[in-house]
Amino acid sequence: MERKKTPQKPQKKGADRDERLKAALKANMARRKSQARARADHGANRSQTEKDQ
């Protein structure tokens, strides 16, 4: 038996843009989260150092 291939529906023009924006937003949020963690760690280490003096 042969399978009939169903034609793929063409994506909307805006769909590509939405996917790019979604990926960019995800990357931006990950970068900001990483920066916030680094700042929090640096602040905690700095506070500990000041207490030790």
20 occurs within a structural domain: no
Please indicate, yes or no, if residue 2 is contained in any of the structural domains: no
Residue 13 lies in a domain: no
**Mean pLDDT, contiguous 10-residue spans, the chain (53 residues):** 71 86 98 95 73 60
* 3-41 residues labelled b (16+ CB within 10 A) or e (exposed): eeeeeeeeeeeeeeeeeeeeeeeeeeeeeeeeeeeeeee
Indicate yes or no: pTM above 0.85: no
Q: Please list the alpha-helical segments (H only) found in the chain.
A: 13-52
How many domains are contained in the chain? 1
